[in-house]
Structure 1
Amino acid sequence: MELSCKCEYAILALLEMATNYQSGELLQIRQIAAQQDIPDRYLEQLLATLRRGGIVKSQRGAKGGYLLAREPWKITLLEILECLEGLDVHPCEENITSKSLDSSVVEEIWREACEAANSVLQKYTLQELCEKRDSRRQLDIMYYI
């Protein structure tokens, strides 16, 4: 399983919004793009998708921008990936009669791997990613002193 560029950029943008969540500050696309080194036009498309998925809210106007629709500790990585990639986390029903034994075994292992990945992604929220980032920043600062 590989993290797509689209998902990575979206998570980086959401981390930027999570960092500013407590202040209630609206972030403009150009601010997020500059801070996280994401192309503006691409970020605009990603944020539109995340808005339709209920993960972010937008406000128009001169002082407009984007902010998280909910608290960062209530938004999981799995929810973000489902919104962007349209992942189906619920395994489809087995139709044993039309599948070969080999095919059934492969599908069973694949389903188990997907369930394990989904379990990990469901466990982490934007808040936890922010905390991991901040703790690593502290370690980097301590290392260089």
Structure 2
Amino acid sequence: MEISCKSEYAILALLELATHYQSGEPQQIRTIAAQQNIPDRYLEQLLATLRRGGIVKSQRGSKGGYILSREPWKITIFEVMGCLEGLDVRTCDEDVQPKTVDSGVIEEVWQEARQAANAVLQNYTLQDLREKRDARRQLDIMYYI
């Protein structure tokens, strides 16, 4: 399992918005794109999707841009990935019977892997990622002193 480029860019952009959440100032696409090295046009599409999903809000005008729709500690990575990739808490239809015993065993293992991944993504918020990033940056600074 890998994270898609789309999800990675979106999470990086949201991490940037979480960093500036307390100030309440909207962040412009070009600023976020420059800070996180994301193509402007692609970021524009991602933020539009996140806005439709209720994760960010846009503000028009000369001081406009994007802000998180709610506190970073209330937005889970699972929610973000669900908005972008269509993740679902449900695992599968119980009514659908596997074609063979072998495919049933494979499906069970795959379901278990999906449930484990979903549980991890549900346990992390944007705030958690921000704190991990800040702690790691602090270690890097201390290493160079």
State the TM-score bracket (shorter-chain normalisation): over 0.9
Where 1:12 maps in the other structure, the secondary structure is helix
Alpha-carbon deviation of 1:95?
Answer: 3.5
2:71 is equivalent to residue 71 of structure 1:
yes
Cα RMSD for the two superposed structures? 1.1
Question: Which amino acid is the alignment partner of residue 27 of structure 2?
Answer: L
Return closer, same or farther for 1:122/1:97 CA change in 2, 3 Å cut-off: closer
Aligned residues: 145
Question: Which amino acid is the alignment partner of residue 102 of structure 1?
Answer: D
CA deviations over 1:43-85 (Å, ceiling 9, x no partner): 0000000000000000111111000001000001100000001
Alignment of 1:1-145 (within 5 A): 1-95=1-95, 97=97, 99-145=99-145
Contact 2:98 2:104 in 1 (8 A): no
Which 5+ residue runs of structure 1 have no aligned equivalent?
Answer: none
Structure 1 outlier segments of 4+, above 3 Å: 95-98
Where 1:58 maps in the other structure, the secondary structure is strand
Identical-pair percentage = 75
Contact 1:56 1:66 in 2 (8 A): yes
Alpha-carbon deviation of 1:96?
Answer: 5.8
Contact 2:73 2:126 in 1 (8 A): yes
Alpha-carbon deviation of 1:91?
Answer: 1.3
- TM-score normalized with structure 2 length: 0.96
- TM-score normalized with structure 1 length: 0.96
